[in-house]
Each structure stands twice: as C-alpha cells, then as structure tokens.
Structure 1
Amino acid sequence: MIKKLVNFELRFVQKLISFKLQYTKYSSYQGEISEAAENIINRDFHSEKPNERVLTDITEFSIPAGKVYLSPIVDCFDGMIPSWTVSTNPNADLVNSMLDDYHSKLKEDEKPIVHSDRGCHYRWPGWINRMNKYGYTRSMSKKGCSPDNSACEGFFGRMKNEMFYGRNFVGVTIETFVEIINDYIIWYNTKRIKASLGYLSPMEYRQSLGLI
C-alpha cells in the first residue's frame, strides 16, 4: 500500500513538472551579459505627446505549424503600435529591424525613451549601438520584475485575448498566421476604440488632435 502511494505521488509530481515545462513563458533573459540601463520609466507609463516614452518586448505565439514571435513598439501616449516585426526566430534582427523601422517614421527632433526588460536582445551590441546612433535613451526594468513593463504586457494580454486564445489554428500556415497578427495590429491602431481616448482608436485620437 505504501509503495503504491509513493508511486502515485511520483507520477503526480512528474505530471506537474511536465505541465510546467510545457507552458513556460518565453523568456529572452540570458543572465547579466552587459551593463543594464537605469529604470528611467519607473512604472510611469504616462506621456504628454507621441514618441516621448515608448515600450518594447517580445511575445511568443505557438500554433500547430510552429512558433511565431512579435516585437512591437508601444507608445505610452495613446497605446499606438507605430512599428512591429514578426518572425519565426527570436534573434537580434527581430528587434533591431523593428527599431530601424520605428526610427524611419520619427521626426528629426523626436528622441524617445525606449523601455524594455533585461532580455538579451536589449543588451547586445546591435541594439545598444542603434540606440546611441539614433540618440534614444535606454530604460530597463529591474531584474525579474514584470510590473516594470506592465503596459507592454497589457497590450500582449489584450491582443491574445482578442485574436489568439480560444481559436483553433490547426491547418493555419505560419505565413497566414503572420498576416493575422499584422491585420490585428492595423485594426488595433485604426479601429479599436479605447475609453481613455474618448472612445476613439489611437489613429482617430491623433487625428482629432491634429497630430496626423
């Protein structure tokens, strides 16, 4: 009887470990590979104008056809996603090309604070060199403190609730899923209303202020 109980408990623990490994959230943290930037944002996600304070991070989508990674810029002014990249590989090019694209859309005098977690992508030379070249200010969350970038995590949560969770992606190719992500973000920017913006979308809100 005792032996059977021990065997049952062992199988139960093994299942728990397997479940935890299966649902572990993607993390780009690889240790302290370079000097971290100061946490300038310090959980103050309010901005008086566009491209003043922006957030970034990487999130993973897993579908039967494979894994897809999204790297966006989230503007603290109104939640607009002015730039994003999607790839099947969470490598340096995913974030570097996103930053290059974002920079191409800014005015010469716009030099935002760019806040991220301590993921390796934001500690590698490619990212740091671009930040310096563009004159942007780096800001980083404290180690293992997700609330420091909660506004960006909030976007990921809303996005996945609205276009990912509860849907069946069996038979959907990677290429089609990338289109689904792109279409969602375009809709999010142009059509999805927010109470905090007077029930306008980010694009409509900026148009109402004469910003675009």
Structure 2
Amino acid sequence: MEAEVVIAWVESIRKEVTISEACAWLGIARATYYRWKTTCESKHPDPMVEKVAQLCTQHKFRYGYRKITALLRIEGPINHKRVQRIMQCEDLQCRVRMKKRKNTGQPAKPAEHLLKRKFYAEAPFQKLVTDITYLPFGNKMLYLSSILDLYNGEIVAYSIADKQDTSLVLDTLDQLPERTNMLLHSDQGSVYTSQVYQTVIKGKGITMSMSRKGTPADNAPIESFHSTLKSETFYLEDLRCTTTAIVEQTVRDYITYYNLIRIQAKLNNQSPINFRRLAA
C-alpha cells in the first residue's frame, strides 16, 4: 500500500469522514497513518512554513499569528488557524513579554479629565496623549518623553534625556505643529502640573487634560506604547546592560519602525503612517 496514495485519499475525504473511519476502511492503524503523513511531509516541505518563518524573523518575533496572517493575506487567502499551527509547530511564536510600569508622580495643579478614555479621533492632531518612561538599560538612566496621536497611533514627537525635568517635556512639546482645537492628555506628574509647562500649553492654544489620580488606565494608549517599545526591543533582544548611545539609537530605530512599518489590527493592518496617508 503506497503511503502517499493513502494520505492523498484520506485528505480528499476528510470533510466527509473522520481519520479513524478512513483508517478502519483501509485496515491500517491511525498511528501508522500519522507516521506515514509525517514522513511524506518531511519529504515535501510546506512552502508556507518558509514564508511564515521569514516574516517572523523579519519582524524579530514581535508579531503573533494574527498579524502574520494579515501580512500573508496581502499575497492571497490563508486560514489563520493554519498560520497559528505552523508557528506553534515550528516554534515561531511571538516572543514579546510585556513589562508593567508602576504609576508614579504626585499631582500639584491637575487639569480636568477631559479625554475620559475616549481613545479615538476623527482627524490627525485632534487628540494627543503624552507620558514619560524610564530607560534603565545603558550606563546611565535615560528618560523618554513621547506624544502619541490617537487618530492613528503615530508617535508625532519624542525626546530622550538624562533628566526627567520640565525641559524634557517642553522639548517634546516644541515638536508639535501649530494647530487649533488640539487636546493633549497626560498624567498628573510634576512636570505636567508645573506652572512653566501649563503656561506654554496655554500659549500654544492647546487644551490640557489629565488623568485622575492613581488611574494609569486613563492614559492607556501611551502607557501601552512605552511597554511595547521596551518589550519589542530591550527585553526581546535582552539588552539589559548596554551603552547609552545604543539605548538612544534603539529607541529612535524602533519609533521609525513603529510609525512606518509595524502594522496594527485597529488600523486595518496598516502602519500608522500608511493609515494616515491612505485616509488623506
């Protein structure tokens, strides 16, 4: 009995009968059938396995099966369960492990919570969120201040410094274009509640919003971005102790990748910049 013929026949009737029934008709054990199938598949490797492996490697194992499926569907239809099975069997799963950040900072002169967790916008630079995160990976502590546009999740401004002070957030703020009707949301950190920061915000005609005390979920999108950045770079590549220059370059490279290349399901599997360009 030819193993390849048996496998082809069983696969052709799988929608009508179970593997056990087909094997019973042929008078062979299920274990024998699966052994033959494994042997034949090793002789004729699935080209899809190579495609999946290439995409996983290309994106440094930052993507799960859903995003890999979305990329594959650009070329043609494919079932997400097949992609998931390939990634499991070939040990190609996403290797990112999210790290939680503790909420810090005491409010001094908080603004009203105007955003109210409505994390969406109908146009660019309509609603923005900002925060500062620690970068304890180099030979000295660095801080990253970022501003994210809720319209498409794009990082529209960021600064890196070795001090978490007002000048850090003002440098980031200066990168924003002159717009009207712009809302900028932050937590109640001391740099955001400072008189200097609030004066500059008002001078730019920006409406200020702040999270409620002890409620980091009020600023979830930017918290999530900072967590993703660390998980998909420093933790993924095990950069626990490196140079300050490498830390800075890693952040810059990732933000470029995040804005230009990294697809997001909520953006119809487009990158933030591609989504904005297509919507224009």
Per the normalisation by structure 2, the TM-score is: 0.61
Q: How many residue pairs were aligned?
A: 182
| 1:26 and 1:60 in contact (8 A); partners too | no
Name the CA distance, whole Å, in 1 between partners of 2:248 and 2:137. Answer: 11
**Which of 244, 248, 253 is the matching residue for 1:174?**
244
Match of 1:44 among 97, 100, 118: 118
Looking at structure 2, the residues matched to 127 and 209 of structure 1 have their Cα atoms a distance apart, in angstroms, of: 33
The answer to whether the 8 Å contact 1:111/1:134 transfers is: no
154, 173, 181: which one aligns with 1:111: 181
Give the equivalent residue in structure 2 for 1:74: 148
Amino acid at match of 1:151: P
Q: Distance in 2 between matches of 1:24 and 1:155?
A: 12
Q: 138, 141, 157: which is aligned to 2:227?
A: 157
Q: Distance in 2 between matches of 1:64 and 1:159?
A: 16
Q: Does 1:183 align with 2:253?
A: yes
Structure-2 change in CA distance of 1:170 and 1:80 (3 Å): closer
Q: Does the 8 Å CA contact 1:26/1:59 hold for their aligned counterparts?
A: no
The farther-off stretch of 196-205 and 166-175 is 166-175
Q: CA–CA distance in 2 between the matches of 1:109 and 1:96?
A: 17
| AA of the residue aligned to 2:262 | R
Instruction: Report deviation, 1:195.
Output: 1.4
Q: Which protein, 1 or 2, shows the higher relative CO under an 8 Å CA cutoff with sep ≥ 6? A: 1
What letter corresponds to residue 118 of structure 2 in structure 1?
Answer: D
Q: Answer yes or no: is the 8 Å Cα contact 1:27–1:119 preserved in 2.
A: no
The one-letter code of the counterpart of 2:182 is: P
- 1:188-203 matches, within 5 Å, as 188-203=258-273
In the alignment, the residues of structure 2 paired with residue 58 and residue 121 of structure 1 have an alpha-carbon distance, to the nearest angstrom, of 10
Distance in 2, matches of 1:171 and 1:164, equals: 9
Moved segments of 4+, more than 4 Å: 23-28
Q: Which position in structure 2 is the counterpart of 1:6?
A: none
Q: CA RMSD in A?
A: 2.0
Query: Quick check: 156-165 or 91-100, which moved more?
Result: 156-165
Q: Any gaps of 5 or more consecutive residues in structure 1?
A: 1-22
The alignment-based identity, stated in percent, is 30
Check 1:40–1:99 CA distance in 2 against 1; reply closer, same or farther (3 A cut).
same
Return the match for 2:190 from 101, 115, 120: 120
Q: CA deviation at 1:150?
A: 1.0
Structure 1 residue 32: Cα displacement: 3.9
How many Å separate the matches in 2 of 1:145 and 1:87?
A: 26
Q: Secondary structure at the match of 1:85?
A: strand
Does the alignment pair 1:53 with 2:123?
no
Larger mean Cα displacement after TM superposition, 109-118 or 87-96: 109-118
Q: CA deviation at 1:146?
A: 0.8
Per-residue deviation, 1:92: 1.0
State how far apart, in whole Å, the 2-side matches of 1:171 and 1:160 are: 13
Query: What is the alpha-carbon distance in structure 2 between the residues aligned to residue 82 and residue 24 of structure 1?
Result: 23
Call closer, same or farther: CA 1:177–1:160 in 2, change over 3 Å: same
Structure 2 Cα separation of the partners of residues 170 and 195 of structure 1: 30
Q: CA deviation at 1:159?
A: 1.2
Contact 2:127–2:182 (Cα < 8 Å) also in 1: yes
Distance 1:142 1:205 in 2: 31
Higher radius of gyration, 1 or 2:
2
Letter of the 2:274 counterpart: E
**C-alpha distance 88-118 of structure 1, shift in aligned 2 (>3 A):** same
TM-score, normalisation: structure 1: 0.80
- Counterpart Cα distance in 2 of 1:79 and 1:203: 9
